[in-house]
């Protein structure tokens, strides 16, 4: 799924604890897992790692990346 790199990173950093970036990337199962465990704080750590990995991934001409 192609998503805008900067929107994905912003959602992962700001709302990653609730899995919003996974819903944006059309991965609802992972989004629900983030949402189910949001009270532990672990999904936010995973979201920060996803944001860093997305930051390192090269984007196409429109600024999209494959996630």
> How many domains does the structure of the chain reveal?
1
This prediction has a pTM of 0.93
Q: How many Å apart are CA 41 and CA 43, to the nearest integer?
A: 6
Q: What is the pLDDT of residue 59?
A: 93
| C-beta of residue 16 within 8 angstroms of C-beta of residue 34 | yes
Q: What is the pLDDT of residues 17-58, one digit of tens each?
A: 999 999 999 999 999 999 999 999 999 999 999 999 999 999
| C-beta of residue 13 within 8 angstroms of C-beta of residue 47 | yes
Q: Which domain holds residue 42?
A: 2-66
CA–CA distances in Å: residue 46 to residues 27, 30, 34, 60:
15, 11, 9, 25
């Amino acid at each position: 799924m192609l998503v805008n790199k900067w929107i994905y990173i912003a959602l992962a950093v700001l709302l990653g604890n609730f899995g919003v970036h996974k819903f944006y990337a059309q991965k609802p199962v992972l989004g629900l897992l983030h949402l189910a465990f949001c009270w532990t704080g672990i999904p936010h750590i995973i979201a920060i790692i996803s944001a860093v990995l997305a930051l390192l991934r090269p984007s196409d001409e429109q600024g999209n990346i494959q996630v």
